[in-house]
Structures are given as structure tokens and as C-alpha cells.
Amino acid sequence: MRNRRVLFLVEIAIFSALALLLDIIPFLSFKLWAQGGSVSFAMVPVFIMAFRWGVKGGVTTGLLLGIYQIMTGAYIMTPLQAFLDYVVAFAVIGTAGLVAKPLWNAIKSKESRRLVGWIIVGCLIGSVLRFFGHFFAGIVFYGEFAPEGQPVWLYSLVYNGGYMLPAFILSSIVVSLLFVKRPTLLSH
């Protein structure tokens, strides 16, 4: 039991650091906006942890990623904005772990289509919740950047949706390919 806990903690540390690296290495991340927002592989390690260890592993990995983002030069306007944009938005990626058990069952029964379906559902859950964290922060804190006459909610929707939709698609594809080709990655 102790070895399993140590493995859990070590994997959280490694995968959260890997997520940060995947977000800040220039050729692995495409920055879209001046105030932040990029299409990268950063969510992939968080999804892997969520599918391996469930919500607890995913949320903890995402939380650490958000804290690392703050420590490495995040765009911060106020403490509340930092909390919403980094702590909450990155932690909730790990809620993808809600589908961990059905995903494991699909692997056990060797049903690749079901496996990919659950991966997409999990990635969608985590991505949508992350989007909402950024979306609400955008409405409250970034309204001044909206073009004149454009509703703030629409600006936040376009701004955050512009990078979150491609990031969701990219993550779903990568995680699906990983687990279809190497389903043993889910075992610990």
C-alpha cells in the first residue's frame, strides 16, 4: 500500500512538470493571444493521470500545473483572477477522471471504440470545465480588451474558445492514440 502511495505522488510530480514543459517549449505550444491562451499538449499529462488514478490524481496534477504556471510568469491582474485562470481552470481538467472506471472496463474487454469514446468524454469534461474557469475570468477581468460594442461575454467566448477547442481536439487525439496503442499505460 505504501509503495502505491509513493508511486501516486511521484507520478503527480513527474506528470505535472511534464505538462508545464509541454506548455512552455516553443515548438510544442502555439500561443494565440497576448494575455495568454495557447494550443499545446499541456493537458495530455493531466488527462493521463486522471485516467490512471481517477479524479484525485487528475485534479492534483492539474492543480500543480496551475501553480507552476503562476510561478513561471502567468499573466496575473488580481489574486482572484489568478485563482480562477490558473488554480481552478487547471485543477478541473482532472475531473476527466470521472470516466476512469468505464475506460478501464473498455480496456479489459478490449473494446477500442468504447475506449476512445470514454477518452473523448473524459477529455471533453475536463476541457469544458477548464474553459468555464477561463470564460468567467474573461468576463470579470478582461472586459477592457473587448472591442468597442462587443459584449464582454462574446469576447470571452471567442477568446477562450479559440484555443480551448483546438486544445481539446489535440488532447483527445493524442490520449486516444496512446491508450489504444498502449493500454497498459493505464495500469499502475
- pLDDT 10s digits, 174-185: 999 999 999 888
Q: What is the per-residue pLDDT for 159?
A: 92
Report residue 2's pLDDT band, with 50, 70 and 90 as the boundaries: confident
Kindly state the average pLDDT of the residues 155-165: 94
CA dist 40 and 65 (Å) reads: 13
State the CB neighbour count (10 A cutoff) for residue 54: 18
CATH number at residue 87: 1.10.1760.20
Distances (CA, A) of 33 to 30, 43, 84, 113, 135: 10, 18, 18, 35, 14
Q: What is the per-residue pLDDT for 142?
A: 86
CA dist 93 and 97 (Å) reads: 9
CA dist 31 and 23 (Å) reads: 9
Name the residue range of residue 178's domain. 2-186
Most confident region among 36-40, 113-117, 144-148 by mean pLDDT: 113-117
Long-range contacts (CB closer than 8 Å, 24 or more residues apart) made by 83-88? 84/133, 84/134, 84/136, 84/137, 84/140, 84/141, 85/36, 85/133, 85/134, 85/137, 85/141, 87/63, 88/133
Q: What is the per-residue pLDDT for 186?
A: 79
State the CB neighbour count (10 A cutoff) for residue 34: 8
* Number of structural domains found in the chain: 1
Q: What is the mean pLDDT of the chain?
A: 92
